[in-house]
Structure 1
Amino acid sequence: MAGESMYKVIVADDEPFMLEGWRTMIDWQGCGYELCGTATDGEEALELIGTVNPDLVVTDIQMPVLDGLDLIRTMREELKYDSQIVIVTGYSEFGYAQQAIRYRVNEYVLKPLVPEEIHELLRSMIVPLDLQRQEMEQLYAGEQFAAAELLDTPAEVNGTLEETDLEKMTSHAKQMLSFMEAGDVKGITHAIDEMLEEMQTLRSGLSLAQSIVLYIHGELLRKYRVLGEDSMLLQEQAWHQTERWITGDLKELFVRITETFASAGQSDPGSGGLVTEAVQYLKQHYRSKIKLQQLANHIHVNAAYLGQQFKREMGVSFSEYVHRLRIEEARRLLRRTNMKISDIAFELGYHDAEYFTEKFKALTGELPSLYKNNSQG
């Protein structure tokens, strides 16, 4: 039975199979949460939010009546809710950077659900939830009011924020991610100094800085989950304790993450960027027939060298990685559509349905037909 210390969650998604997955595949209580209800559209979710007053809202982007972004905008701008927010999307590339920053989205996950990843994300969110709870307790007790006020994320960031400020901060966020991934310590040091300086000069600077940090945190969680062997970097309190950012905690954390990327690429300087670029390209083009030579030409590098570095960094060959991307998409299509298996094979670049079936079974352990029947009941 969930105790009072459990954090309350609601989930909004218009797909019955997704909602069932959230109900049955996720060990909410084991991670410290209580699932208090589910909704199939944004309006239902708003009603549920008013009843439950959840600590965490998990919402799909695409829903009827009121979609996920409209739901979040209403929560933040009109209802002034400070709940933590996780976005769920079926897109391989998250194209909502400005909205994520504007509406203070905490994290986001990609479909299909991978329980281990969701559990890791839920555990990582306990830190900001604990801090928010402590802040409210301090506020109600009338103690350390200044600290509680500093930790607050005022809703006016949404109402009074200039588009130029939002664009500037979005640019900051993406630039800082680039510096981190490139292992550029000098670049990230300068960028974080610049952000902290603007945080103190802009009227909504603190709220913007908090939103940028949440966005960067979400990006790193989605793309890496574990940074090298130092998995604790994404769970540190420095992500959320804004009153200590000025003393250098956030800067130190960002530098450590950047150094982790730098050390990961030391065995072969420059190869990490190539492999990252290759992976991004493959995620966009895996449906078409693509050869290693074609990819190597695209990123201007020797094909044999790229193939060697790709396998070393990714743990699988170039062709095997393409198969994995295709089969993952096949699983989604089998679950969510009524497409024929032969059509799915053709859609994903397989011109032989038997070969597709063979690869599907090799990677998932079952035939596509059985997977479809089991997934759709």
Structure 2
Amino acid sequence: MLKVLLVDDEMFVRMGLRSLIDWESLGYEVCGEAENGEEAYAEIERLDPDLVITDIRMPVLDGLGLIRRAAEELLSPPSFVIISGYHDFHYAQKALRYGVQDYLLKPVDDEEMEDTLKKLAAKLSMRRLSRKKGEALSSGASSALEMLIRGSVRQEDAPQVASVLGMEKASRFTYAIIGMQKTPESAEEKESLAGRLASSVRSVLGGTAGELPIVEQPPGLYGLLIDASRLEASGRTLEDFLYLLQRELTRSAGLPVVLYAGRTVDRITEVEASYRTACEALLYQYAEDGRPVIAYESVQGTPLSYFDIEPRLYAQLLEHLEENRLEACLRTLDEMLGQFKTKRLAPSAVAGSVTRCVIDIVNVIWGMDGEENSLRTLPGMMEWQDRQGGLGVLRERFAAFLTEASDYISRLRKEQTKGGIEKIRKFIEAHYMENISLKTIAAKFFMNPVYLGQLFRKTYGVYFNDFLLGIRVGEAKKLLRQTDLRMYEVADKVGFQNADYFVTQFEKLEGVTPTEYRNKLIGKA
């Protein structure tokens, strides 16, 4: 029972409140009375009531002073309801900031008082239960449900918890997990989604009033406690209800929803077992992909695999990715996802396979001097294990990651190729005086000489031999201008083994022989 303290300086008002309300039927008991605020404060400290119903105008310490003092001095003050005359309403407004729950005018209407007490019952029960457990829990059904699934509710506390959940008459309970196929990102989206889910549950239950026992679990999961006995009494089976609920939730959420139902238990204190088996049903989200409702009874005892998929698929995926064959890569992805289902992989095994793929791809990027942080889709893949969704959601996210990775690897290859040809150019410019050729350079850089010749021309617009000749002739001109070396000496220094060939090539490029070039510089005809 919730304890109530009545405070009013008029004895007949207190007597009227005692007799006016059927306190016991509402779950309350009047634990004491006081005729002024000072006396009431002492009774609060002695009796620790859940609720104080007080007048405002009283001698010694008025109602407003009592509420303020309790709020400021007590570690866990009670809740307050004010009853007073019409002209004292502006005083009551001041008390709102101290947590006053309601304000009623004298003379007190019994129906109005009962409505107020009914509204407060669940909140006060949860508050008392939380204080008893020594836990800082928020009020409401979600807190009660959290305590149930943790198994921290004793049998003697069961009636209070049932009252908080609006399940006083329930005798059988089923815990179900609502699995969203997409997790809301913002707080506003989460709040909107939670509201739509609650509305859907109310609709399927036939407009159930009161606070619904729905609690958010990890991202994308919502817990729901179902009054199975109520369904049975109405002639509906739990299975029919779950399929109806799944369709309604899918409609209201605007995306696919999967329900995972635990086994039905006969006591509210056994909800932990129903919750635990609902979590076991959740392990079959990939093995039973495509089913809108997965009940523990239907999968109990069926095996799950914690091993890996075929190793060839990893190598095949990387090969297609490195070859920039995205369509083939996506076909391999579909084969992998198919094995997740046909081999009945547990979520941990699926997560291991996905992680291995991601790490292999990141290693490829590192090997090409790339930065994995350049991939915008990588964080989503790394966080995927903490999110919910079936194979369809995983396929969508994985395909986006592969598409971006394929494009990035292609760009890295182009940059790497460009960087490689730049290294070759610098090598030629540093070793032009040596006996080098397209074939010897290609061998040095582990390239096909034909491919190197094509790449050279594509990059610089000239054939390799013409590029090398241009460097050698340019250096020869410099020597002819700055030194008096003989022609065979100049030829040798710029890489020509034959002086006559040097003269021929020089004249071909410059239109004059090396000797004519030098003579023009010194003014000889």
TM-score (norm 2): 0.27
Q: Tell me which structure has the larger Cα radius of gyration.
A: 2
Q: TM-score, normalised by structure 1?
A: 0.37
Q: Which one scores higher on RCO, CA 8 angstroms, separation ≥ 6?
A: 1
